[in-house]
Structure 1
């Protein structure tokens, strides 16, 4: 019998995150600091709107591109929060999470062997999605001394005559790094001069601390070459509702909707009605959660620096990215031993690319009480292997 499997799919490695959580799910008294999921419940008024939509029998398909009311609210939200102006009808598509938006954006834009620049460490799905879309991922290694930001030099050094798309993953998962207005000003001229397109993953745009998120689409000349990806999972604690969106140039969005139409049909109707409520009345919820994350962020940064695992201050998302190089272990070795010996699950930096070696991703989407217990265990582990 012939091999039924696609060679392209077989060559893709499974997520480096999952194996630790397969273990921790079976381990009594274990604490996980690895999952990138808010520990808050979806705010009640948002859940109530979802329930109400079911009670009213709103269980039909919506338009392929999304519920009209939701697309209008998305565009209103982007204009008031980030100064981004899009047409709800021609430049907006509602997707099954931000992950689907990334996937269909790449599939809509890439021809075979087009190169896509992927800064790493970064979210685990970018490289596989490029491969599945027929493109060639080109890794830009971000450096700790640059606070894991994309620099003008790093960008220029990676561009070839086959480069078509740049993935811009900020605020960043796993490092918590952000790109300021000044940082973006350094790379925008390069993008325009080299005629690149950008997929800007801004799923953590509401989770920044001490500085406001700036979108690259705000810059002159960038709106027509940028797809902005966002969603509801992180900001509104709506991970299980599976709802995201993309906005961008109408010709690209049109082709994304075509793929979405054949692969998905439309995003879940109940989730879309709940998201309308989130955008209209959820600003206070976002602020409450952001304040809690900021408290946890400050606690963890100090705790890890105090135990000698140096950590730069992250200004976005809900992760810190401490260095473990002083212990002489690989990231995978550290994470495995920590889990087995102290029952604390963290993610090795290498799950997010080779340049993550020597680092760990620690999520602070957990209660302060859990973080305190976990850091006590990690400190005990560190002291053991230092002595």
Structure 2
């Protein structure tokens, strides 16, 4: 629906006939005459004009250049366009911020045409400002929602992590009690694995938010082949007993060139990828893990012979709250595990991708850059100092 409010033009001149002539050429515009500088200032505060026509013969207590600078400095006149008309002093008005200059001998029709152009620019500028204001409001709302979400995630994880860890510890004690019947031990084991899964979900959720907000600091160390083997062994323990039902083959090439990585985060990456491979394979399935050097990178690959991933799911697989629709387990998953892996690997300067064929399993591969020579020297100096 078109705006029914007429645009306003203030005509500041010593002779009211100038305003009358322009009003006759601009029937769709509210033309207001201002006989001097004081009237112009007063009228511009009572109603924000779309344009101001400032004749150089106007009577004012201050030079017209200063008067125009005062008007230009007002925030409420940010969309107002100024046209200076006259034969003398136009240079000062142009320096003060006039949008256009015209001679006072210009016919009213030509002057009205230029004013119409300025009014169109003012309207477009207002529309852009209105759109910008709407976008800024949406941005403020989004930032508020993000803060609320971050606070909720933080509260959720920190309030739940300790009791979950306590329950996990108690279940481990109960599971080792020889007085417990075997059928109950199996139930306790399953409960412990689900509790461990719940703990991983909450921690992954918090860490994804931290990495996205740039609040997670990585503790880099120089890592060699034995350290990668150790981290992989620890990650296997984090996944749980379900991994024992799969055939796991781990190969770490000897004498790898070192890479700079955070061992704790790398352990989490391995645990998430192992857990992902386990949940997409049946008992007795094959999972192969390899670490080798490829040019200037270390390549980490994890393959399984599970059901594979539908091609339509792959582009969004590493996004938070996304997971493959095709899965062998009925457990709820937020998809935060793979999102965490992607963000954490990129934080190391690497990248991750997946290759999969339906019915023939999947291979997750990520690269970490080798440590540069100067980094090697610095870390070696720290080790021997």
- Normalising by structure 2, report the TM-score: 0.23
- Normalising by structure 1, report the TM-score: 0.23
Structure having the higher helix fraction is 2
Which has the greater radius of gyration?
2
Q: Which has the higher contact order (CA 8 A, sep 6+)?
A: 1
